[in-house]
Amino acid sequence: MQVWTLKSTIKEYGRYAIYLFCAFPFLRLLGLGFTNSLTANPIEFITRYTGTWAIVFLCCTLAVTPIRKLSNMNYLVLYRRPLGLTCFAYSLLHFLTWLVLDHQLEFSEIIPDFYKRTYITVGLAAFLLLIPLASTSTHRMQRLLGRKWQKLHQLIYLIAILAPLHYWLHKAAKNNLFTVKIYVGIIGTLLGYRFLSWLIKKYQLSFSKMKIR
């Protein structure tokens, strides 16, 4: 008989919690929409809402590996794909809100924004870089690309710099950086963990080489 443990429960049901978590912001947005609760400026609200959730799911995606390694729960790697795809989904909604609702597909306004306004250039770059990652997320593509897949998906580190930079530049002018700093702190920690473990690995490797000699 299987003994009940926290870990086995997470293993069994964790993914349902993850799916629910991924869908929750969208369902809430629909709920707010149907109850007319999107504030007096719904487009601004939707833009900020989808942008915030995109960065939250970016953090969650980046958190999978450190948590997996620290907790020794290897199956957590299964959560990375839905979390990453959800990050892409909210980024797409964020981008489409800006493109269609805010700018009404008025390309004479949109194109200059791409190069004239740094925070938009940076945000657009982060979004565009997510596209190859989302479109190669299937098992089939993973198999097909083999080692290159790993390499390609390291783009997430660049995205993890561009996305908070986009947010920072947007808020910097009003010096209203409190929330931004929280995200920068979280992402910095998650990237820092990787850098540190890379450094340790490298050090250990050269150390073991020394011993062999």
The contact set with other proteins (CB under 8 A) reads 39-44, 101, 104, 109, 112-113, 116-117, 119, 170, 173-176
Q: How far apart are CA 207 and CA 192, in angstroms?
A: 22
From the CB of 165, what's the least distance to other proteins, in Å?
A: 14
Please tell me what DSSP assigns to residue 6. H
Q: How far apart are CA 70 and CA 50, in angstroms?
A: 30
From the CB of 93, what's the least distance to other proteins, in Å?
A: 15
**How many Cβ atoms from other residues are within 10 Å of residue 61's Cβ?**
24
Among all chains, which residue has been given the structure tokens 């919690």?
Answer: 17
From the CB of 159, what's the least distance to other proteins, in Å?
A: 22
- Of 23 and 172, which CB lies nearer to other proteins in the complex structure? 172
- Of 10 and 38, which CB lies nearer to other proteins in the complex structure? 38
DSSP string, 110-175: HHHHHHH-HHHHHHHHHHHHHHHHHHT-SHHHHHHHTHHHHHHHTHHHHHHHHHHHHHHHHHHTTT
Q: How far apart are CA 66 and CA 201, in angstroms?
A: 15
- Of 41 and 150, which CB lies nearer to other proteins in the complex structure? 41
- Of 112 and 185, which CB lies nearer to other proteins in the complex structure? 112
Longest dimension (CA), the chain: 72
- Of 5 and 175, which CB lies nearer to other proteins in the complex structure? 175
From the CB of 203, what's the least distance to other proteins, in Å?
A: 41
From the CB of 32, what's the least distance to other proteins, in Å?
A: 13
Torsion of CA 89, 91, 92, 97, to 10 degrees: 130
The Cβ-side half-sphere exposure at 11, using a 13 Å CA radius, reads 11
From the CB of 167, what's the least distance to other proteins, in Å?
A: 13
- Of 80 and 166, which CB lies nearer to other proteins in the complex structure? 166
